[in-house]
């Protein structure tokens, strides 16, 4: 009970890339970069194991960004002529590549890091992929002409990579859908259908991660506009509860999400955000068990998996490691006191 896990990303070491950045430049190239990515993946696994994390990820060490890491291996995209686009309902402007032709995968996306991770990890291993709706909200479209159509096309590519990751021996595949908290009616119209398409045929554990974003300024400013209660989950949880996805990863620590909304996810495992990635204050194990205790009033204990609110990619490494240790220790405490 209370097996703990992470949303996915960990900070990258300074010898691999720039640090404290969401979209860092690599420090090397070619074979040297490939080796550095593999080394960082092994290190990310070791650090999670040392911190007592039960379901570890590759730390997303081999990708520059949680969406663009996937897009790098997709053809039909013009990366030369980027256009400005408002992302997440205009929360931020970004220069994004454009879809200009039918999309296809040019090869495996995460084969190297999946094999390295599997070779070094005896216990449970999780990999993350961006969700179709979040991808569509991060790229301009000059070809498909319809968001849902483009999402379904991406879902097919995600499914191809997800099946290959499963064959590599990955235990859990998580789709990251922060856009679900922004386009709530589209989630019901086609977002979940796209997730089903992306996860079709998978027999490993499937998860969807829905957060309020990384701890970057644009997100902190947005959260300020959401009022005293964040109720976005309320609109989408019933549809997710009826979906075929097994686990839902949510933000809870320091979030203004009413914890009783979790009851709407009946039947699902909850990856419960017990670690705030928008603050450098390192939680204590008691903070973690406190978040678990509050959620356990609305979620059966055996369905609670303590987790981070979101990825830790842009954080300081020492702080992220401190937070991982608190998460591992808090989950252990919960097993002793609440199980």
Indicate left, alpha or beta for 333 from its phi (over 0: left) and psi (-120 to 50: alpha): alpha
With contacts defined by CB under 6 A, name the span among 34-42, 163-171, 208-216, 285-293 that binds ligand MET: 208-216
With contacts defined by CB under 6 A, name the span among 5-13, 145-153, 236-244, 283-291 that binds ligand MET: 5-13
Nearer to ligand MET, 209 or 303 (CB): 209
| Binding test (CB under 6 A) with ligand MET, winner from 11, 178, 273, 330 | 178
With contacts defined by CB under 6 A, name the span among 3-11, 42-50, 159-167, 322-330 that binds ligand MET: 3-11
Strand order in the sheet with 74-87: 74-87, 92-105, 140-141
Instruction: Estimate the crossing angle of helix 317-337 against helix 30-50, to 10 degrees.
Output: 30
Assigned token pair, 54? 């039960």
- 129 part of the interface to ligand MET, by CB under 6 A: no
Q: How far is the CB of 60 from ligand MET (least distance, A)?
A: 6
Cα 43 to its chain centre, rounded Å, is 19
Total binding residues for ligand MET by CB under 6 A? Answer: 15
| Binding test (CB under 6 A) with ligand MET, winner from 37, 209, 253, 303 | 209
Site string for ligand MET, 86-125 (x = CB under 6 A): ----------------------------------------
> What totals of helices (H) and strands (E) does the chain contain, helices first?
11, 10
DSSP string, 250-288: E--TT----GGGGGGGTTSEEEEEEE-TT--SPPPHHHH
Instruction: Estimate the crossing angle of helix 285-295 against helix 317-337, to 10 degrees.
Output: 50
Binding site for ligand MET (CB under 6 A): 7-9, 60, 66, 128, 176, 178, 209, 211, 213-214, 310-311, 313
């Amino acid at each position: 009970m209370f097996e703990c896990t992470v949303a996915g990303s960990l900070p990258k070491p300074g010898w691999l890339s720039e640090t404290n950045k969401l979209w860092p430049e690599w420090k090397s190239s070619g074979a040297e970069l490939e080796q550095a990515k593999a080394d960082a993946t092994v290190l990310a696994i070791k650090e999670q194991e040392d911190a007592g994390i039960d379901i570890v990820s590759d730390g997303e060490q081999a990708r520059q960004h949680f969406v663009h890491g996937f897009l790098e291996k997709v053809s039909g995209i013009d990366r030369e002529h980027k256009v400005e686009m408002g992302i997440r309902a205009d929360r931020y402007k970004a220069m994004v590549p454009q879809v200009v032709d039918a999309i296809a995968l040019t090869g495996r996306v995460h084969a190297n890091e999946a094999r390295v991770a599997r070779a070094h990890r005896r216990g449970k291993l999780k990999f993350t992929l961006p969700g179709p709706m979040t991808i569509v909200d991060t790229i301009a479209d000059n070809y498909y002409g319809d968001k849902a159509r483009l999402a379904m096309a991406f879902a097919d590519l995600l499914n191809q990579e997800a099946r290959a990751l499963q064959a590599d021996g990955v235990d859990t595949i998580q789709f990251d859908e922060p856009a679900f908290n922004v386009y709530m009616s589209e989630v019901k119209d086609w977002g979940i259908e796209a997730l089903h398409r992306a996860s079709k045929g998978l027999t490993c554990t499937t998860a969807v991660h829905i957060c309020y974003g990384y701890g970057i300024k644009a997100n902190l400013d947005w959260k300020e506009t959401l009022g005293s209660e964040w109720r976005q989950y309320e609109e989408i949880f019933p549809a997710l509860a009826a979906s075929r996805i097994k686990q839902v990863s949510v933000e809870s620590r320091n979030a203004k999400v009413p914890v009783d909304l979790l009851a709407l996810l009946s039947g699902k495992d909850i990856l419960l955000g017990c670690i705030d990635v928008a603050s450098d204050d390192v939680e204590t194990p008691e903070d973690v068990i406190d978040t678990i205790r509050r959620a356990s009033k609305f979620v059966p204990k055996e369905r609670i998996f303590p987790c981070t609110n979101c990825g830790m990619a842009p954080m300081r490494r020492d702080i992220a490691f401190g937070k991982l240790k608190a998460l591992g220790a808090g989950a252990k405490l919960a097993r002793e006191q609440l199980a």
